Amino acid sequence: MKEGRPRSFYVLAIFFTAYVLFLYGPMIAIYVLSFQGPQGGLTFPMNGVSTFWIAKLFQGTGIVDLGASFRRSLLLGLVVMVVTVVLSVAAGMAFRRKFKAQSILFYSAIASLIVPSIITSLGISLEFRIVDDLIKAHWNENFETSMGLLTSGLGAHLTWTLPFGLLIMFAIFNRFDPRLEEAARDLGATPWQAFRHVVLPIILPSVIGIGLFGFTLSWDELARSSQAIGAVNTLPLDLQGLTTTVTNPDIYALGTVISAVSFTVITLALGTIHVLNKRQAAKGSDAGQGLV
């Protein structure tokens, strides 16, 4: 290879920088604008600096009850996170050996990822409507609906998060050395012990990654919630509702608060992954050394 950096490096470095600016620029603009003074409007220049609009959010003066949808989104996100982690790790383990129906599961996951969200969402709402009609016709005339945050809503979100979880598990087990597990078994570990004390500590950083995906994908999910969540609203749905009537910077304040939660979760997850990797490097690095 030639000495130094080729000219294409500099051209592409500028291109890359421009792309990153394009990605972050608008977002930074609204984060800044959410600190407008009380008289501030939707655009620059800033009209004073204050936390007026953010405080206004928490007073709950708006048309919608943001506090309630905040709690709903948080609850749903946490449930989706836990379910996604458990089901993805379990299914990922299953895929390490051949089993019947594995290609059905694989193609379901891929299809769920690429079938347009509105269609999945519509399908779930139709399904629950038909179930509701059946219940009303046969069991209870006064039955309202089985649609809700933790029924149809949870299901809709899982069809979006589980494929990501499964794909991450594939990536993990692609580089996983099965000999470590065999060694544990040869030493007399039960399958559960081998999983708990050997496999899980090794894959833990990526499992946290799956949790991160699960929570944030659900926290920001919109299209799948739109038809499938029932009568209640999540935070992104409220936010979308606000876009049609936007006149005040409170929408930016809401955006900033939602992003702040996302960024907190990302930072926590990445920090934990970093600590775990460090621990693994410190405690697990001499495994097998000096034997061969």
Partner 1 sequence: MDTSEDVLQPLSPDLVRGSETARPAKAARLSPSFISWLQAGPMMLVFLAFFLIPLVFVVIVSFWDYNEYQLLPAFSGRGYTDTFEGCLAQLPDLCTIVRTYLKTLKFCFLVWAITLFIGFWVAYFLAFHIKSKTWQMGLSLLCTIPFWTSNVIRMIAWIPLLGRNGLVNSGLMKTGLIYQPVEWLLFSEFSVVLALVHLFTFFMVVPIFNSMVRIDKSLIEAAYDAGATGLQTLVNVIIPLAKPGIVIGSIFVITIVMGDFITIGVMGGQQIAAAGKIIETRVNALQFPAAAANAVILLVITFLIITMMSRIVDIKKEL
| Distance, CA of 20 to CA of 33 (rounded, Å) | 20
Span near partner 1 by CB under 8 A; candidates 61-69, 196-204, 242-250, 277-285: 242-250
3-state helix, strand, coil split of the chain in percent (to 5) is 75, 0, 25
Site for partner 1 in 102-141 (CB under 8 A): 102, 104-106, 108-120, 122-127, 129-130, 133
Strand partners for 36? 49
Q: Which of 203, 114, 195, 106 is nearest to 160 (CA)?
A: 114
The answer to whether 227 contacts partner 1 (rule: CB under 8 A) is yes
**Residue among 57, 72, 80, 88 that touches partner 1 (CB under 8 A):** 88
**Residue among 140, 142, 244, 285 that touches partner 1 (CB under 8 A):** 244
Binding mask 16-35 for partner 1 (x = CB under 8 A): x--xx-xxxxxx-xx--x--
**Residue among 21, 37, 38, 44 that touches partner 1 (CB under 8 A):** 44
- Shortest distance, CB of residue 17 to partner 1, whole angstroms? 10
Strand partners for 49? 36
- Residue 158 vs residues 88, 150, 185, 207, 228: alpha-carbon distances, Å: 11, 11, 34, 16, 12
Smaller CB separation from partner 1, 50 or 240: 240
Site for partner 1 in 46-85 (CB under 8 A): none
The answer to whether 167 contacts partner 1 (rule: CB under 8 A) is yes
Other CB atoms within a 10 A radius of the CB of residue 288 amount to 12
Site for partner 1 in 253-292 (CB under 8 A): 255, 258-259, 262-263, 266, 270
Residues contacting partner 1: total by CB under 8 A: 96
Question: Which structure tokens are listed for 287?
Answer: 């495994």
**Residue among 53, 66, 80, 159 that touches partner 1 (CB under 8 A):** 159
| Distance, CA of 175 to CA of 160 (rounded, Å) | 25
The answer to whether 196 contacts partner 1 (rule: CB under 8 A) is no
Smaller CB separation from partner 1, 85 or 290: 85
**Residue among 149, 209, 239, 250 that touches partner 1 (CB under 8 A):** 239
Helix 200-219 to helix 154-174 angle (10° resolution) is 150
Span near partner 1 by CB under 8 A; candidates 64-72, 87-95, 203-211, 280-288: 87-95
- Residue 69 vs residues 103, 211, 234, 236, 261: alpha-carbon distances, Å: 38, 21, 5, 9, 14
| Distance, CA of 73 to CA of 86 (rounded, Å) | 20
Smaller CB separation from partner 1, 5 or 139: 5
